[in-house]
Structure 1
Amino acid sequence: MILHRKIQKIKKRLLAIGAIVEEQVDLAVKSVINRDSELAQKVIDGDVAIDLMEVDLEEECLKVLALHQPMAVDLRMIIAVLKINNDLERIGDLAVDATERAIALVDQAPIEFPFDIPAMSKAVQKMLKQCLDALVNLDLELATEVCASDNAVDSMHAEVYRKVEEAILQHPENIRQQLTCLSVSRYLERIADHTTNIAEEVIYLIKGSIVRHQDNIY
């Protein structure tokens, strides 16, 4: 019973980190779209809390492993939490990276974004929400859907690369702004990768099998 309570507490702490990371990504996207340096700074400042929570949760997981030596499903849960915890922290870092691009855009001449940032960010934020929902409900179907969605985001990023390349050729004077836009797309694509990692850990939790690099499961 003690082990069960500790695992439930650990899971709640992980979901609390997830909720903060979701908000950070949302604010990061808004800061880029609106070229809002104040909002960007809020995201940067908020990353400290995520880092501290990530370290505290990792330490708690290691204590449980050392003191209780969990087996089977409980062991899988602790291992999954450790990995998901790391992915969430990395998503928080990428949100900060995106906001730094927002700050860079403030000092550059305004240009039309070569891609639909709201559409791409909406797809990525949906994946993030779904992977956390899949974790809460241990929903295999939803976790699998998240993994499959990553291909669409990859395609969006590839299209952005093509459009930025064309824009640079047509307007070389705007190369800095275009490269900044490409960086934002890249950060969103990497956030999608981490949400896929989380979904794969949920699948591992449910099925007990590692599905990384197995594209046929999607």
Structure 2
Amino acid sequence: MESRFHQELEQLKMTILQMAALTERALEQAIKSLMERDVELANQVIEGDSEINLLEVDVDRHCLRLLALDQPMARDLRFIIGSMRIAVDLERVADQAVNIAQRAQFLSNRPPLPTDPAMAELGDTALDMLRSVINAFVTENVSQAMDVCTMDDTADELNVKILKRLMDYMVNEVPAVERSVQTIIAARCLERAADQATNIAESVIFIVKGVNIKHHCQQ
């Protein structure tokens, strides 16, 4: 029969997964709202953010209670610390989704910029990274977590490509400056979401292997 403590750990994992599912949906909807100029979808992302924030608070309180009352050791301690880190990064991804949705609201009733395939590719990359790292957390798959780390370079390169193209475009199309800047911000948010997925991958590796590779995931 499972102890109360391990039941609490399982409940903590379920809360993280609930938060992850909502965050994944928010990022997916934000990207779609940007690409399809869908204001209603953008509004849904913004309105749904409070639920994700509340879940982060719930995870934080749960972890602190377990640390204070049960004094966990070894793998259990790593799981609790890693869960706190993951919740922080999921909340930050959700914040990036809100920021993207706000850019979508702004751009929706203005003339569209020339299509840039790199933006769609960046969105797909960030979303794939988030989905993969959530699965790595569920399955405790270190190899998959490491794969997420390697994908971060692709996100960085795509962000730079988008920035350069829009900077060049603004030089010749002064009326498009404001729209271009908003699109650059959206691309930067996607790149940051990819960074945060990488942070989650580092936390998964820490939980499973007990190795702290924070800021060194790609090395």
Give the counterpart of 1:84 among 81, 86, 91.
86
The structure 1 residue matched to 2:128, chosen from 103, 126, 129, is 126
Q: What pairs up with 1:164-179 in 2 under 5 angstroms?
A: 164-179=166-181
Q: Which residue of 1 aligns with 2:198?
A: 196
Q: TM-score, normalised by structure 1?
A: 0.96
Residue 147 of structure 1: aligned partner: 149
Cα gap change, 1:75 to 1:158, in 2 (>3 Å)? same
Which blocks of at least 5 consecutive residues in structure 2 are unaligned?
A: none
CA distance in 2, matches of 1:57, 1:215: 24
Cα drift, residue 34 of structure 1: 1.2
1:113–1:181 CA contact under 8 A, matched in 2: no
What is the aligned counterpart of 1:70 among 69, 72, 76?
A: 72
The corresponding residue for 2:62 is 60
2:188 maps to 186
In structure 1, how many angstroms separate the alpha carbons of the residues matched to 2:88 and 2:218?
Answer: 26
| Equivalent residues of 2:126, 2:155 under 8 A apart | yes
Contact 1:37 1:103 in 2 (8 A): yes
> Could you list the per-position Cα deviations for residues 82-105 of structure 1 after superposition, in whole angstroms to 9, with x for gaps in the alignment?
000010011111100000000110
Which structure 2 residues correspond to residues 200-215 of structure 1 after superposition, within 5 A? 200-214=202-216
Question: Partners of 2:51 and 2:169 in 1: how far apart?
Answer: 38
**Alignment coverage as a number of residue pairs:** 217
- Residue identity in the other structure for 1:8: E
1:170-199: per-residue Cα shift (whole Å, max 9, x none)?
Answer: 211110111111111100000000000000
Structure 1 stretches lacking a partner, 5+ long: none
| Selected match of 1:160 from 154, 162, 182 | 162
> Could you tell me whether the CA contact under 8 Å between 2:12 and 2:62 is conserved in 1?
yes
Q: Output the aligned Cα RMSD.
A: 1.2
State the Cα distance separating 1:140 from its structure 2 match. Answer: 0.7
Tell me the distance in 2 between the aligned counterparts of 1:216 and 1:31. 31
In 2, Cα distance between equivalents of 1:151 and 1:8? 34
SS of 1:112's partner is coil
Match of residue 137, structure 2, among 135, 138, 141: 135
Tell me the CA shift for residue 212 of structure 1: 1.9
Distance 2:11 2:217 in 1: 33
Structure 1 CA distance for aligned equivalents of residues 216 and 100 of structure 2:
30
Give 3-state SS (helix, strand or coil) of 1:108's partner. Answer: coil
Show CA shifts across 1:150-209 (max 9, x none). Answer: 011001111111101111112111101111111111000000000000000011111111
CA-CA distance at 1:107 after TM superposition: 3.3
Query: For the Cα contact (< 8 Å) 1:114–1:167, is it kept in 2?
Result: no
Q: Is the 8 A contact 1:35 1:105 kept in 2?
A: yes
Structure 1 residues 118-145: Cα deviation after superposition (integer angstroms, max 9, x where no partner) = 2111111110001010000110100000
**Separation in 1, partners of 2:62, 2:202:** 23
Instruction: In structure 1, give the amino acid aligned to 2:57.
Output: V
Equivalents in 2 of 1:159, 1:16: separation in Å? 34
5 Å matches for 1:14-29? 14-29=16-31
Equivalent residue number for residue 117 of structure 1: 119
CA–CA distance in 1 between the matches of 2:187 and 2:115? 11
Deviates more, 1:103-112 or 1:148-157: 103-112
Percent of matched pairs sharing the same residue: 34
